[in-house]
Amino acid sequence: LAEAAGGCCPGASRNKFAYNEAGQVRIRAGLPIYECNSRCRCGADCPNRVVQKGIRYDLCIFRTGNGRGWGVRTLERIRKNSFVMEYVGEIITSEEAERRGQVYDRQGATYLFDLDYVEDVYTVDAAH
């Protein structure tokens, strides 16, 4: 992979693409990923545009048999470090997540996902 060739701009990642040729993440977990964008001279086929291409796997939403709610699965093999889908929401502190979690528990639903790569400080709340 020619690092900054073809007009790509991975400068924010210190001139390293976050992905290998197969679209798998190759940087250390917890580091931010900077993809090429409208400011680049590269095109839509650039290997540094993985998340923007969206879901590439056939996913199935199903009701769990053990009463824990809904789940997502696929029948195809997903290679390690591959992008599957984004989980989008508001980034809040863990303290705020605790408060909202109590409300969500009373409603019988939760949308919280802890961002605990380094330390347990932030949570994504996908309710909004």
- Four-point Cα dihedral 6, 10, 16, 22, nearest 10: -70
How far apart CA 126 and CA 112 sit, in angstroms, is 6
Report the length, in residues, of the chain. Answer: 128
DSSP 118: S
HSE at residue 17, side-chain half, CA atoms within 13 A, is 22
Residue type, position 45, single letter: D
40 labelled ligand-binding: yes
42 labelled ligand-binding: yes
8 labelled ligand-binding: yes
DSSP-based three-state secondary structure for 95: helix
9 labelled ligand-binding: yes
The two three-digit tokens of residue 13, written as one number:
């990642």
Binding residues: 8-9, 36, 40, 42, 46
| Residue numbering of the annotated binding site for Zn(2+) | 8-9, 36, 40, 42, 46
